Amino acid sequence: MQVKNIAIMGAGLVGSLLSMYLKKHGYQVTVYERRPDFRKTGNYGGRSINLAISERGWKGLQGVGLEQAVRDIAIPMPGRMVHDVQGNLMFQPYGKPGEAINSVSRGGLNILMIDAAEEAGVTYKFNQRINEINPAGTAASMEDMETGTTYTLEPDLIIGADGAYSLVRYAMLKTDRFDYSQAYENHGYKELTIPAGPNGTFLIDRDALHIWPRKQFMLIALPNIDGSFTCTLFFALEGRESFEAIKTHADLDAFFDTYFPDVKPLMPTLHEDFFGNPTGLLMIVKCFPWSHGNTMLIGDAAHAIIPFYGQGMNCGFEDCTVLNDLIEEFNHDWSKIIPAYQVARKPNSDAIADLAKLNFIEMRDLVADADFQFKKRIAAKVAAAYPDKFIPVYSMVSFSHLPYADALREYYRQDEVLSEVLTWPGVREHWDTELLPDIAQRLFNL
């Protein structure tokens, strides 16, 4: 399998990062994007939830020399700030001092990456639609949406980086033994805004990911460098308390007065945002294989997840760094690279999909739960006391490069150990003194 020309479908974050890695390896790389060039239109479209870059994401950016440029537009969030209904605040660190996840706007990051990729010699073609794609033969019939002209593309390799609704993936549906599932959550989401205060000040604490957990729904807020916060309400699509049930301005006011009284005064455009912004849907996609003939999938196209671990982009970037390593390991032999890539990544993308579902329950429900908080405190204490012997699951996912599949196994193991520890006599009084060594012994995972 001789590969010189590679077509990447999708100019999003993963497609753009991948294009730079492939370019570094000497391939001719063209990126095709259905949308217009959002650097010119100023209209990003696509999804708007802010991103939280963590360790795997940084590694991906490091490899193409973009880490510092992105750090310059990101805001570190060392922990969660939990808001209860009374307006009380509780800060829960995500990791050790110095560890943080990093808020960045999707559009800003994407533009930075496309600029860098073009500078590196990658060709971008916008307004290009896939009309039909032959997954076996590396042929795509394309349409230039500005001119209406159609043409056939015959690169040596087509890589679908075209997101959760990937057309490249949909073309694989009818190939033999292609297992596939797409499943929607009962919750959707809506973007809301807390604008900056006077002179670009932050109206709530800048250095945190804010959460208003309310059991069956939650609101989150991530800081932007201009002092504003991008907020997202995750809420049932239908039912007694749901997007569907909030029909009038009075309904909306009553809902926010009841559940989010502290944040409502900070949202002057709440009504416009709520009734004007679309309700986003959340879909989980799993499939296998991730390739067929000379076509392969990467990022959300192969494994769309829900956003509750902040790992969608980080996982997609890790796809790129793993693929990059395999290109070297197999010395550009794609007949070996592709099978090794999909076998290496599939169990890990399945695991982060599960972890993201579990974290949704944690975020909306358990962060306000006493036992949950107690377990988190124990794990944090053990991690601090024995940093060489224990890593909590959140840190494995966000601050390490350990496989997601290992993190999922650890999730279940640690939760079992900590649930048992909670039944020990005197544990509430002595967990951080005389019982700590015993607890730690049970938790060690290194």
Binding site for a second copy (CB under 8 A): 165, 170, 173-174, 176-184, 237, 281
Pick the closer one to a second copy by CB: 183 or 254: 183
Per-residue DSSP letter, 133: E
In whole angstroms, how close is the CB of 237 to a second copy at the nearest point? 8
Pick the closer one to a second copy by CB: 237 or 436: 237
In whole angstroms, how close is the CB of 134 to a second copy at the nearest point? 16
In whole angstroms, how close is the CB of 60 to a second copy at the nearest point? 29
Pairing of strands 128-134, 139-144: antiparallel
Q: Which of 167, 172, 118, 174 is nearest to 143 (CA)?
A: 167
**d(Cα 427, Cα 35) in Å, to the nearest integer?**
57
**d(Cα 441, Cα 216) in Å, to the nearest integer?**
36
In whole angstroms, how close is the CB of 180 to a second copy at the nearest point? 5
In whole angstroms, how close is the CB of 101 to a second copy at the nearest point? 30
Asked if residue 296 lies in contact with residue 178, where contact means CB atoms within 8 angstroms, the answer is no
Pick the closer one to a second copy by CB: 5 or 48: 48
Pick the closer one to a second copy by CB: 35 or 376: 35
C-alpha dist (Å) from residue 376 to 212, 366, 381, 414: 18, 11, 8, 10
Per-residue DSSP letter, 66: -
C-alpha dist (Å) from residue 188 to 61, 180, 314: 30, 22, 22
Q: State both tokens at 300.
A: 């959300």
How deeply is 157 buried, as exposed, middle or buried, from its count of CB atoms within 10 A (0-12, 13-18, 19+)? buried
Pick the closer one to a second copy by CB: 203 or 282: 282
Pick the closer one to a second copy by CB: 186 or 269: 186
Pick the closer one to a second copy by CB: 183 or 384: 183
**d(Cα 182, Cα 36) in Å, to the nearest integer?**
27
In whole angstroms, how close is the CB of 286 to a second copy at the nearest point? 9
Element at 134 (helix H, strand E): strand 128-134
3-class DSSP state for residue 388?
Answer: coil
Asked if residue 202 lies in contact with residue 196, where contact means CB atoms within 8 angstroms, the answer is yes
In whole angstroms, how close is the CB of 285 to a second copy at the nearest point? 10
